[in-house]
Amino acid sequence: MIVRTLNECIQSERRVVSENWESVRMLLKDDNMGFSFHITTIYQDTETHIHYKHHLESVYCISGNGEIEMAGGETFPIQPGTLYILDQHDEHYLRAFPGQNMVMACVFNPPLNGQEIHDDSGVYPLTQV
């Protein structure tokens, strides 16, 4: 059994900070569960280009408001209680509206190792499962 708290993960190398977001990676590849689980904060009034070519992701909005715009232009609102699933390696733009950060619970398959950040094309590197 594995037990961790968000606070202890925030105070460790499991917290990864980037320009537009920070992610607390609570469950990772080396935990051998087959997926990773993160609490990610998207900073207010930002736009982030993302294209997970090697990963599938499901995201549940805990707090904050924003939108996700697919590469084809279709836009969906994000608010607390919204779940979106990137099941086709969907290229997208994630926007957090002014006034409040968006806090999201994220699950990745395959799992992340822990220190990944998006490259210039919005991609995380492929991890070996």
**Average pLDDT of every residue of the chain:** 91
Segment 69-75 long-range contacts (CB within 8 Å, at least 24 positions apart): 69/93, 69/95
Q: What is the pLDDT of residue 23?
A: 96
Q: DSSP letter at 80? A: T
Contact present, 20 and 48 (Cβ < 8 Å): yes
pLDDT band at 48 (very low <50, low <70, confident <90, very high): very high
Mean pLDDT of 44-57: 92
pLDDT in tens, 73-112: 999 999 999 999 999 999 999 999 999 999 999 999 999 8
Domain ranges of the chain: 6-109
- pTM, two decimals, is 0.89
For domain 6-109, the CATH architecture is Sandwich (2.60)
